[in-house]
């Protein structure tokens, strides 16, 4: 007998039929003898609607009231799931964040979980095999007693931290895809579902744009060492297919060198030419961007040959591109540079794999393969378990496919 947390995302509870279908997965686990806590999202589209209402009510609304409104989507599905489970003869009770309680910070709209008291839920597992159906996404700030929410996509994080608090053996994330793929299957038809992926790799993939899981949930899983199983609620409940297990590196028998290829179109490049090369110039460029909360990603500084000027290239999110240009132009006197060039039609393609730690030349092979296809690399960054190249957006699919094949990821 194990203790499981089963999380159902928006499409898995989109309507009563979907809630019933998801409840059958819960039923299967209960009948197998497991302790089960269920975490639910709002019905798909519901949270967007609630956010829209807040904005319509007043563009500058009180963040505490925003949370009071948007947390309601999960309240509805938690109650409905409990009713449906009960109708199937399963003992079940719904819990809102404040009832558990799930204690959070007071950063309304993006609160962090500080602590969860799982004692009562565990007592009910032991005494009456009661399934706990918990509203995801929400918590309570203990001092003020106000409802908080954990940020968009936050019910993934709810599920993982609840799994940690309940000392669960596994956290199953039921969604509308059957796992995590080596890359986006819409771009590479030969993308494969991964059986296992290490926490660190999944964290990179989620940060680099794979949308299956909220980044924070992967961080939490890594910190608390919670095995997370991404799987489909659209499977036959009687004979569910497999999914992708996100786990510790040690639990992966055959580690590939590269496990996945990610790409992000949300990149824009800014290059400063003829930057006067003196101590403090990087601070003069990136300080004002940081002050404006613009996230700079790749940074490349060219070593100057005449020791008086250099070139500096960096990338920012597409949405911040114009703002970043204005800020840099505004700081021109303080920085001192010749010209500013920018490009919005760029994409960052990344290869991720823990195996890179122990294998040399992994990135070099990619540079060669991309060159053979005539793809020009604008910028490169590397870290311990990934490397990224910035290229023209027109080559996105060709580059992703090329790397996917190069590292042996294509489905046979
Ligand atoms: N319902 C929330 C959202 O749409 C939380 C979640 O589903 O994870 O962001
Ligand atoms: Mg989600």
Query: Encoding tokens for residue 112?
Result: 């962090």
Across residues 15-30, what is the average pLDDT?
98
Does residue 353 have its Cβ closer than 6 Å to ligand 1? no
Q: What is the mean pLDDT of the chain?
A: 95
Q: What confidence tier does 301 reach under pLDDT thresholds 50, 70, 90? A: confident
Å from CA of 44 to ligand 2 middle: 9
Higher pLDDT, 146 or 412: 146
Q: Please give the Cα distance from 45 to 103 (Å, whole number).
A: 26
Atom of ligand 1 nearest to the CA of 48: 4
Q: What confidence tier does 211 reach under pLDDT thresholds 50, 70, 90? A: confident
**Per-residue pLDDT tens digits for 67-109:** 999 999 999 999 999 999 999 999 999 999 999 999 999 999 9
Q: Please give the Cα distance from 205 to 409 (Å, whole number).
A: 15
Query: Encoding tokens for residue 350?
Result: 């990344």
What is the pLDDT, as a whole number, of residue 306? Answer: 67
What is the pLDDT, as a whole number, of residue 303? Answer: 76
User: Hunting for tokens 């931290």 — which residue is that?
Assistant: 161
Q: What confidence tier does 302 reach under pLDDT thresholds 50, 70, 90? A: confident
Higher pLDDT, 306 or 234: 234
Query: Encoding tokens for residue 34?
Result: 């497991």
The model carries a pTM of 0.90
> Beta 3-8 vs 102-104: how paired, if at all?
unpaired
| 93 close to 132: Cβ distance less than 8 angstroms | yes
| Residue with CA closest to ligand 1 atom 5 | 153
Helix (H) / strand (E) element for 72: namely helix 72-87
**Per-residue pLDDT tens digits for 240-252:** 999 999 999 999 9
Q: Please give the Cα distance from 100 to 170 (Å, whole number).
A: 20
| 364 close to 310: Cβ distance less than 8 angstroms | no
**Per-residue pLDDT tens digits for 106-137:** 999 999 999 999 999 999 999 999 999 999 99
**Per-residue pLDDT tens digits for 348-370:** 999 999 999 989 899 999 999 99
Å from CA of 127 to ligand 2 middle: 32
Does residue 10 have its Cβ closer than 6 Å to ligand 1? yes
Give the count of beta carbons closer than 10 Å to the beta carbon of residue 303: 8
Across residues 159-178, what is the average pLDDT?
97
Query: Encoding tokens for residue 311?
Result: 């070139």
Å from CA of 145 to ligand 2 middle: 26
User: Hunting for tokens 């400063």 — which residue is that?
Assistant: 272
Percentage of residues of the chain with pLDDT beyond 70 = 99
224-261: b or e for each residue (b if 16 or more CB lie within 10 Å)? eebbbbbbbbbbebeebeebbbbbeeeebeebbbbbbb
Q: Print the SS3 string covering 83-116.
A: HHHHHCCCCEEEECHHHCCEEECCCCCCCCEEEE
- Up-side HSE of residue 406: CA atoms within 13 Å toward CB? 23
Q: What confidence tier does 405 reach under pLDDT thresholds 50, 70, 90? A: very high
Across residues 230-258, what is the average pLDDT?
93
Across residues 35-50, what is the average pLDDT?
98
Instruction: Give the total residue count for the chain.
Output: 412
Does residue 104 have its Cβ closer than 6 Å to ligand 1? no
Percentage of residues of the chain with pLDDT beyond 90 = 92
| Residue with CA closest to ligand 1 atom 8 | 153
Is the alpha carbon torsion for 134, 135, 138, 143 positive or negative?
negative
Q: Is residue 307 predicted with pLDDT exceeding 80? A: no
Question: Of 165-169, 252-256, 357-361, which gets the smallest average pLDDT?
Answer: 252-256
Å from CA of 9 to ligand 1 middle: 8
* DSSP line for 205-236: HHHTT--SS-HHHHHHHHHHT--EEEEETTS-
Atom of ligand 1 nearest to the CA of 156: 8
Å from CA of 229 to ligand 2 middle: 14
């Amino acid at each position: 007998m194990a203790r499981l947390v089963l999380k159902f995302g928006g499409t898995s509870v989109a309507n009563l039929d979907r809630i019933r279908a998801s409840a059958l997965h819960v039923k299967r686990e209960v009948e197998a003898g497991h302790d089960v806590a269920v975490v639910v999202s709002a019905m798909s589209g519901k949270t967007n609607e609630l956010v829209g209402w807040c904005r319509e009510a007043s563009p500058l609304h009180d963040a505490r009231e925003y949370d009071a409104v948007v947390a309601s989507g999960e309240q509805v599905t938690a109650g409905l799931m409990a009713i449906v489970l009960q109708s199937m003869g399963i003992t079940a009770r719904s819990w809102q964040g404040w009832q558990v309680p799930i204690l959070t910070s007071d950063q309304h709209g993006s609160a962090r979980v500080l602590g969860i008291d799982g004692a009562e839920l565990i007592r009910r597992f032991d005494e009456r095999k009661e399934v706990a159906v918990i509203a995801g996404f929400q918590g309570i700030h203990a001092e003020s007693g106000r409802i908080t929410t954990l940020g968009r996509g936050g019910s993934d994080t709810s599920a993982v931290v609840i799994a940690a608090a309940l000392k669960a053996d596994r956290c199953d994330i039921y969604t509308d895809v059957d796992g995590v793929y080596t890359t986006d299957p819409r771009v590479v038809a030969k993308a494969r579902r991964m059986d296992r992926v290490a926490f660190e790799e999944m964290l990179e993939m989620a940060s680099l744009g794979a949308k299956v899981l909220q980044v924070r949930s992967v961080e939490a899983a890594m910190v608390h060492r919670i095995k997370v199983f991404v799987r489909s609620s659209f499977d036959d409940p009687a004979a569910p297919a497999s999914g992708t297990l996100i786990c510790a590196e040690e639990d992966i028998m055959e580690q590939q060198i590269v496990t996945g290829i990610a790409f992000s179109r949300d990149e824009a490049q800014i290059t400063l030419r003829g930057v006067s090369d003196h101590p403090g110039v990087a601070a003069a460029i990136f300080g004002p961007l940081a002050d404006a909360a613009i996230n700079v990603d790749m940074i490349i500084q060219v070593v100057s040959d005449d020791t008086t000027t250099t070139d500096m290239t960096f990338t920012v999110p597409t949405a911040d591109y114009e703002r970043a240009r204005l800020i840099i132009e505004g700081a021109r006197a303080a920085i001192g540079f010749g010209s500013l060039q920018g490009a919005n039609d760029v994409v960052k393609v990344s290869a991720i794999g823990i195996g890179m730690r122990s294998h040399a030349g992994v990135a070099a092979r990619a540079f060669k393969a991309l060159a053979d296809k005539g793809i020009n690399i604008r910028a490169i960054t590397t870290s311990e378990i990934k490397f990224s190249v910035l290229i023209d957006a027109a080559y996105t699919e060709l580059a992703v496919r090329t790397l996917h094949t190069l590292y042996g990821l294509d489905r046979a």
